[in-house]
Amino acid sequence: MEQADKIKKSFIVKGMHCGSCVYTVEKALKGVRGVTEAVTNLTTGKAVVTAFMPINDQILKTAVKNVGYDLINIKDQVSNIKNEEEKKKELDQLKRKVIISLFLGSLIVWGSFPGLSSTAPIILQNFFVQMILATVVQFWSGLDFYKASIPAFKHRLANMDTLVAIGTTMAYGYSVFITFFPNIVQKFGIESFAYFDVSTIIIGLILLGRYLEAKAKVKTSSAIKKLIGLQAKTARIIKGNKEIDIPIEQVQVGDVVRVRPGEKIPVDGIVLSGQSTIDESMVTGESIPVEKYKGDTVIGATMNRTGTFTYKATKVGKDTMLSQIIKLVEEAQGSKAPIQRLADVISSYFVPVVIMLAIATFVGWYIFGPMPSFLHAMLNMVAVLIIACPCAMGLATPTAIMVGTGKGAEHGILVKDAQALELANKINTIIFDKTGTLTKGKPTVTDIALDQRSKIKDQNELLQLAASLEKGSEHSLAEAIVKEAENRKLILNEVKKFKAIAGHGVEGEIKDYKVLLGNRKLMEKEKVDVSQSKGTIEKLEKEGKTVMIMSVNGNLSGFIAVADTVKESAKEAITALRRMNIASYMVTGDNERTAQAIAKQVGITQDHVLAEVLSQDKEKKVEELKRKGQLISFVGDGINDAPALAASDVGIAMGSGTDVAMEAAGVTLINKDLRSVATAIMLSKKTMRTIKLNLFWAFAYNIVLIPIAMMGKINPIFASAAMALSSISVVTNSLLLKKQKI
Amino acid sequence: MGVAAYKNMNIDKLIVLIVGVAGIIFTYWFFLRRKEQAVSAEGEIDIVVDGGYNPETIQVPFGKPTQINFTRKDSSSCLEEVVLGDFKIRKYLPLNETVTVSLTPKKKGTFQFSCGMGMFHGKLIIS
């Protein structure tokens, strides 16, 4: 029966270089039974095959191969996380092998262990029966060891499978020999005793170790899976008068999306109408829900709480913030920490060296060991081969990096690569950019004061006059005043004869009053007496505020102080760093007085203020401190911070920053929380501690236990248990990082 | 004592000693004195992952976009991931499928790539 649904599949075609190749490939594909259409693109090198029934990829591949090209499956580009089903299948098979090998192994142990064997049925004591059971384990359960080591051997390479394969084959081979020719060994004074228990239990335990290790390893990449899982599946878009649900992949830039309470926001965009509270914690790590109004940006995969709103999609697919985060985390997990280099070098020599040591062990025990020397030599050699655990060394760093970067992402801390994560742990000096980093970057009204002689009745009236006057001005201070008036819901008046006096202020007429608003220079020019309020003005200025003076009809009325306010989290952030013995500096283009005032508020000491630094010179300040031997982290945002971010040892960009800043920075804080600077360094310290402990364990294990095994103090079965435990303990230790508080 | 040991040494022990030393020398020569031949990649190269990377050392031209196609034919879990640390790439390689890694080298030099556990290694020579 024919299926009504058509199946579409894309492939990569290799070897195409001209128009005729396209034709040939298409023809070959169309020739396959069931294919209704085949479109090949020379520029992208892709072929899209449409069929009315499922076709085995191999048939298509063969068809293309026959005409001289190669057809390749396109892998999922979004993420390289292992296919869940495939993994489950692999794990299930491994589990089956573990259970069967350990079961058969214990039967053999029962039948052969001195003291225990007398209780076993006679049949289990028979070497031939034991051999049959051991053969199943050796060549079915243990097949992977051979499958991995034989091709490697062909390329003159050896790995841990090689060690297990050699070790178990020796024990198994010797036992088979004993089974068939017991008399021969007896002639040499060796008791004819088979060691099938050794080969089977070793295989069982090592496979058990691998099974547990694989299960634990899955958890190391759980953070990224969680991020991928955040993605919404569908979006409700408005087309004309209709609202339709479409799959998220089909949403395009410019589409208008409606989001209702409790729904997930599908892609990034800008609010067009409506308002709501949005929980962005899953993406940015910011725990407090954010209010969104018209014109605000919303992030895909975050959760709408209360309101209904519509927004225009601005970023879709791989451009959304979530996709960028996933990409960044994946890249970080793929990078290598410098600390790993030594482990890499050692592991490339490790296995051959262990084989040499094992041979030496055999020779040593054969020549100098007690009788029966062959038996001691063989068992001790097997123990040396089995106890060696290069896996723990290989797993020590990457598993911790995976967990560390994933944990960071969960807290809104994106680490660019393993190198940045490693370096951040040594940072002893942090330079904060002032505007936009320590402060909110937007001036706001901080004080409104009336002069004692003023005829104005209250603060609101003063602000109303000031805001009415400033409405026409574009100065950032004016913006702060107008905004404050809006916040207080004041109605602004009409202004006549408005005039802006550059470098001084503004003037105009409101309801027959002549109103002036500006600095002291303006008041002096217009002969307004401010002498009695000098103290108040200076006090405000010392606090780093810009004071605007207002006069009405030539008489002083009051002051409005405007300042760039510090972020709530700033002081706490710097205190936390001080506790970690990290010095905080502040760099700004502001004058010394304003800079000192801000520094005082956030708790940065006087001599750590770098004032009047032009933005292009920030980089030089970083270099200067670096020359003094300090390890510097520069915290900033914005394009003009990029050189300073790049010049510092680990640049930390605040999330609102541009893509350029993110490129130059080693760490990006998408939660915009200054306290995360300390958290990021803490994360680095904890991750490095885990890596060091892992590496220490992995090295110490091998350095201590290999010689002990060479001395003949370790039973091969214990060796396999120790080796399995060793790699599991490294992965488990990395997983513990997840539970640590940062 | 050395002399006594020598006198006591039977013919079988002598054979084991000779074979053992030869085995150690062979192991050293076989695994550690291996010469690698660099294969140059012109825009694209196929690497078969089967008991290691074949070819193992590849030359990639500086600044040119290059595609490396990894096809894993080895079922051992050791090789299931390939890591190009300097290029921040960690890819899972499904068995018997081809995974393409695209990169444009921006630095010259020799860069290692390896399996997830760092047991198998390959080299990218950017020139």
Active site residues of A: 433
> Looking at residue A79, what is its pLDDT?
43
Indicate yes or no: CB of B94 within 8 angstroms of CB of A83.
Answer: yes
Q: State residue A244 phi and psi, 5-degree precision.
A: -130, 145
Q: Which of B31, B106, B111, B114 to mutate to test the interface with A (most CBs of A within 10 A)?
A: B31
Distance from CA of A739 to the nearest CA of B (A): 24
Q: In chain A, which residue's Cα lies nearest the Cα of B15?
A: A363
**Per-residue pLDDT tens over the stretch A138-148:** 999 999 888 88
> Looking at residue A75, what is its pLDDT?
52
B-contacting residues in A 334-353 (Cβ below 8 Å):
334-336, 340, 343-344, 347-349, 351-352
Q: Where are the beta strands (DSSP E) in A316-419?
A: 413-415
* Nearest alpha carbon to residue A499 among A485, A483, A516: A516
**Per-residue pLDDT tens over the stretch A661-701:** 667 788 988 888 899 999 999 999 999 999 999 999 999 99
Strands B121-126 and B57-60: parallel
Instruction: Inform me whether the pLDDT recorded for A336 exceeds 90.
Output: no
Name the residue with higher pLDDT: A544 or B61. Answer: B61
Q: Hey, is the C-beta of A57 within 8 angstroms of any chain B C-beta?
A: no
Q: In chain A, which residue's Cα lies nearest the Cα of B1?
A: A368
- What CA–CA distances, in Å, run from A461 to A492, A523, A547? 10, 20, 18
Q: In chain B, which residue's Cα lies nearest the Cα of A389?
A: B119
CB burial of A43-58 (b: ≥16 within 10 Å; e: otherwise) equals eebbbebebeeebeee
Distance from CA of B101 to the nearest CA of A (A): 11
Indicate yes or no: CB of A367 within 8 angstroms of CB of B32.
Answer: no
Are the CB atoms for A662 and A712 separated by under 8 Å?
A: no
pLDDT, mean of residues A384-403 = 88
Instruction: Inform me whether the pLDDT recorded for A55 exceeds 60.
Output: yes
3-class SS at B126?
strand
**Per-residue pLDDT tens over the stretch B10-65:** 888 899 999 999 999 999 999 888 877 778 877 788 888 888 888 888 888 888 88
Q: In chain B, which residue's Cα lies nearest the Cα of A349?
A: B32
**Per-residue pLDDT tens over the stretch B58-94:** 888 888 888 888 988 887 777 888 988 888 888 888 8
Question: What stretch of H or E contains A555?
Answer: strand A555-566
Indicate yes or no: CB of B31 within 8 angstroms of CB of A340.
Answer: no
Question: What stretch of H or E contains A32?
Answer: none
Q: Which amino acid is at A52?
A: F
Retrieve residue A300's tokens.
Answer: 């895909």
- Partners of B86 on chain A (C-beta within 8 Å) are 335-336
**Inter-chain contacts counted by CB atoms under 8 A, chains A and B:** 153
How many angstroms separate the CA atoms of A714 and A719, rounded?
6
Which value does ipTM take for this structure? 0.78
Classify burial at A453, counting beta carbons within 10 Å of its beta carbon; exposed 0-12, middle 13-18, buried 19 or more: exposed
Identify the band that residue A80 occupies on the pLDDT scale cut at 50, 70 and 90. very low
Indicate yes or no: CB of B27 within 8 angstroms of CB of A390.
Answer: no
How many angstroms separate the CA atoms of A270 and A283, rounded?
17
Report cis status (omega within 30 of 0) of the bond before B61: no
Quote the mean pLDDT of chain B: 83
pTM (2 decimals)? 0.78
Are the CB atoms for A283 and A230 separated by under 8 Å?
A: yes
Question: What stretch of H or E contains A142?
Answer: none
Q: Hey, is the C-beta of A154 within 8 angstroms of any chain B C-beta?
A: yes
Share of chain A above pLDDT 70, in %: 95
B-contacting residues in A 157-196 (Cβ below 8 Å):
157-161
- Cα-to-chain-centroid distance, residue A365: 51
